[in-house]
Amino acid sequence: MDSMRVFSLWASLVCFLSIISYAGGQNKIFTVTDYGAVADGKTDSSQGFLNAWKGACATDGGVVAVPLGTFFVSGATFEDYWILFDEIDRLTIFGNGTFYGNGESAWPHNQCDKTLGCKKPPTSIKFHNVRNSVVRGINSVNSKMFHLNLHKCENVLLKNVDIIAPVDSPNTDGIHIGKSNGIEITASRISTGDDCISIGDGSTNINITSVFCGPGQGISIGSLGKYNNEEDVVGITVKNCTFSDTDNGLRVKTWAPSSMPVTVSTFTDHNVEDAVCPLAWRVRSWDQRCEVHKREGDFSNRSCSGCSMQQGQAMPGHTVRGA
């Protein structure tokens, strides 16, 4: 059943997944079980979570605490997300809880690779207009679509995030970033069916460091250039990441011929254990394998500083327009 979404949490502390909004002042604690949430894995606890959240937001620095247990939290049926954090300044999410998306019930029905304009399954956790915030130590397992989606966010740190879905699960991007500025992803581990991290148009100043990707498709910029009003992607730094059993390290996907310039500021210090293409530029048919990525001198030491790419070649020191 599509509405079955389980929010399960694993840890040993009472407050092991806490959501703090409006940091500052007294951090009064609002425990979801005091607001009607039941840790039995089957009672719909969404209202309990929402009521605890409302209580916390009404104070100056409230903490929503989710105790040990498995909670079933139903989603907004007609939206593109399961859980949404919307219009929040100074949000902190931490504590080793697991968002279990129950994607195995949706993957067999996902025809989005074959059908245009299909209804996409929901992203597990969407952040929209979230600013000056930290997401630390959470786990996302088996999302129906993307695990995490940051849209129009500013100054957000994601640290110690652990993302898992099977290698053959469709469209399960680990972290998607779009129209956001100042995002740092670090010390995280992403094993999923689609992109490890995908970066859409209008994204600027994105630092990805010490992330383990694999299996999956690696880090992707794009697809870009499909629509006329897209904004540039600027200042992407990918550093000290490991790509193990991925299709790519970093790849740029563009729709020819109207693509925009993409500047990859840094792609360096990598451990590319087993990626088909450490660096790749794909135009439209991004399923085909690239050939030129392993050219001598380009990535023999698997790094590239201040480089840009065009169609499968890395060009250190140049900014190159899409095809």
Ligand X SMILES: *[C@@H]1O[C@H](CO)[C@@H](O)[C@H](O)[C@H]1NC(C)=O
Q: What is the DSSP string of 182-222?
A: EEEEEEEEEE-SS-SEEE-TT-EEEEEEEEEE-SB--EEEE
In this complex, which beta carbon is closest to ligand X, that of residue 208 or of residue 283? 208
In this complex, which beta carbon is closest to ligand X, that of residue 178 or of residue 182? 182
Q: Which part of the chain contacts ligand X (CB under 6 A), choosing from 51-59, 64-72, 190-198, 234-242?
A: 234-242
Q: Judged by CB under 6 A, which of 27, 59, 207, 263 binds ligand X?
A: 207
- The reply on whether position 132 binds ligand X by CB under 6 A is no
In this complex, which beta carbon is closest to ligand X, that of residue 145 or of residue 241? 241
What angle is formed at CA 285 by the lines to CA 301 and CA 288, rounded to 5 degrees? 50
Q: Judged by CB under 6 A, which of 105, 210, 258, 311 binds ligand X?
A: 210
Q: Judged by CB under 6 A, which of 9, 11, 52, 185 binds ligand X?
A: 11
What angle is formed at CA 275 by the lines to CA 272 and CA 278, rounded to 5 degrees? 70
- The reply on whether position 96 binds ligand X by CB under 6 A is yes
Distance CA 211, CA 228 (A): 32
Q: CA-CA distances (angstroms) from residue 307 to 83, 209, 232, 266, 304?
A: 37, 17, 16, 7, 6
Residues for the chain: how many in total?
323
> Which of 130, 262, 243 is CA-nearest to residue 195?
243
In this complex, which beta carbon is closest to ligand X, that of residue 52 or of residue 183? 183
- The reply on whether position 240 binds ligand X by CB under 6 A is yes
In this complex, which beta carbon is closest to ligand X, that of residue 75 or of residue 200? 200
Distance CA 199, CA 224 (A): 9
- The reply on whether position 89 binds ligand X by CB under 6 A is no
- The reply on whether position 297 binds ligand X by CB under 6 A is yes
In this complex, which beta carbon is closest to ligand X, that of residue 36 or of residue 306? 306
Q: How far is the CB of 263 from ligand X (least distance, A)?
A: 14
Q: Judged by CB under 6 A, which of 205, 244, 258, 313 binds ligand X?
A: 205
Q: Which part of the chain contacts ligand X (CB under 6 A), choosing from 68-76, 167-175, 205-213, 283-291?
A: 205-213
Residue pair 167/195 in contact (Cβ under 8 Å)? The answer is no
- The reply on whether position 170 binds ligand X by CB under 6 A is no
> Which of 319, 153, 156 is CA-nearest to residue 235?
319
Q: Judged by CB under 6 A, which of 43, 111, 301, 319 binds ligand X?
A: 301
Contact map string, positions 174 to 203, toward ligand X, x by CB under 6 A = --------xxx-------------------
Q: Which part of the chain contacts ligand X (CB under 6 A), choosing from 68-76, 191-199, 287-295, 300-308?
A: 300-308
> Which of 150, 322, 311, 308 is CA-nearest to residue 224?
322
Q: Judged by CB under 6 A, which of 48, 137, 202, 216 binds ligand X?
A: 137
Distance CA 68, CA 214 (A): 29
Q: With H, G, I as helix, E, B as strand and everything else as coil, classify residue 12.
A: coil
Q: How many Å is the maximal CA-CA distance in the chain?
A: 62
- The reply on whether position 14 binds ligand X by CB under 6 A is no
